[in-house]
Amino acid sequence: MSPPGVTNGQLATAFFLSPSQAWAIAYAQVDTVKLTVPLTVFASGDGGQHWKPEATVTSQLVFGAGPVYLTFADSTRGWLVVDTGSHGGFMSFKGFKTNDGGGTWMAASYPQSAPVRFVNQIDGFSGGGVAARPLYATHDGGQTWAPLNLPPAGGTQATAVFQLPDFSTNLEGVVAGQAWQSPDERPAEVFYTTTDGGRSWSFAAAVANPDPRASAITGMVIDRKDWLVALPPQRASGPLPSGILQLKVSHDAGRTWQWLPTVISGWIREFSFGGSTGWAIITEAGCHGFKTDCYNNTGLFETIDFGAHWTQLTLG
């Protein structure tokens, strides 16, 4: 269930730390004088069946507001980035952090409008997100940030875009991203590992894109050995239509991969995992006619078997 009174269109983002503990950010009632809408933090301790409002963090403009990024490392430490209208070469956002599970939030400085995650008190990362921001790292608690330069996948990549890394311990982590060898090439999904808190990284695996016409692929890290990739699936008669994705899974840190049975219609916008159970926000967009009768539907989905099958959760 969604937070009380929150419909699909009012849900800004959600983050599940475990099958029971979750947080959500929802838009409140519009201030018709200031033309802003407050953002309220909700928390759930029973997997989203019941929600409690924790705090009103900030407001966004009714028009021109961007995405909202929410991440928690444990039951107390969380980070929030609210895009306030970034576009082109202009970036506008507000950063926050909490140390009490979302009850109170304080302003925080981040290098860009993107998701943020700290592994411990000093090692943190910023990057990925809807706009595919470059990856930055800090190793002094956020006082300074620098671009994270990873070795080329196979020694030849020219461009790469990475998500936030996922850490199983304070030192051991995995990062997934997309890598191109040339501007005309569709990306492959690549994975890197670290054993020193993200100060150095080693190339671990690459999964080729089976459809050169499609680029909407996503890598998902569950833990240090269980990884997923969302790809356009291949059939005996050729690729499926655009916007259709199928998952491949590896349970041995990228050495072998197997296709999973479920086909996903849409784009995986956000995701999080706690063991074999995971959640994803999936957006499906298109038009029934040529630039007419267009739609944009967003749903929250859950899997309990490492992504083999997905069920849409009821919102509102």
pTM for this structure? 0.73
Q: Which of 195, 200, 197, 201 is nearest to 176 (CA)?
A: 201
Q: Which tens digits make up the pLDDT trace of 161-217?
A: 888 898 888 889 999 988 876 666 667 889 999 998 888 999 999 888 776 665 567
Segment of 100-109, 230-239, 287-296 carrying the highest mean pLDDT? 100-109
Pair 205, 255: CB distance under 8 Å: yes
Round to whole Å and give the CA distance between 129 and 115. Answer: 6
Pair 48, 18: CB distance under 8 Å: no
Confidence check: pLDDT of 155 > 60 = no
Within this chain, do residues 87 and 108 fall inside the same structural domain, yes or no? yes
Within this chain, do residues 184 and 106 fall inside the same structural domain, yes or no? no
Within this chain, do residues 162 and 141 fall inside the same structural domain, yes or no? no
The confidence band for 8, taking pLDDT boundaries of 50, 70 and 90, is: very low
Within this chain, do residues 139 and 158 fall inside the same structural domain, yes or no? no
Within this chain, do residues 165 and 255 fall inside the same structural domain, yes or no? yes
Contacts 24+ apart (CB under 8 A), 205-208: 205/250, 205/253, 205/254, 205/255, 206/153, 206/154, 206/179, 207/231, 207/248, 207/254, 207/257
End residue of a domain, out of 115, 149, 183: 149
Residue-level pLDDT at 267: 72
Confidence check: pLDDT of 238 > 70 = no
For residues 60 and 274, the model is more confident at 274
Pair 276, 228: CB distance under 8 Å: no
CATH number at residue 306: 2.120.10.10
Q: Which of 252, 270, 248 is nearest to 261 (CA)?
A: 248
Residue-level pLDDT at 98: 92
| Mean per-residue pLDDT, 21-36 | 79
Within this chain, do residues 135 and 232 fall inside the same structural domain, yes or no? no
Residues present in the chain in total: 316
Determine the structural domain holding residue 187 and report its residue range.
153-316
Mean pLDDT of the chain: 81
State the distance between the two ends of the chain, measured CA to CA, in whole angstroms: 6
Among 79-88, 105-114, 288-297, the least confident range = 288-297
Residue-level pLDDT at 311: 87
Within this chain, do residues 168 and 309 fall inside the same structural domain, yes or no? yes
Residue-level pLDDT at 253: 93
| Mean per-residue pLDDT, 236-251 | 70
End residue of a domain, out of 149, 165, 180: 149
Q: What is the CA radius of gyration of the chain?
A: 19
Within this chain, do residues 33 and 85 fall inside the same structural domain, yes or no? yes
Within this chain, do residues 175 and 187 fall inside the same structural domain, yes or no? yes
Quote the tokens at residue 38. 């407050």
Domain count within the chain: 2
Q: Which tens digits make up the pLDDT trace of 250-307?
A: 999 999 999 998 888 777 777 888 788 888 888 776 676 776 777 677 778 888 998 8
End residue of a domain, out of 123, 149, 175: 149
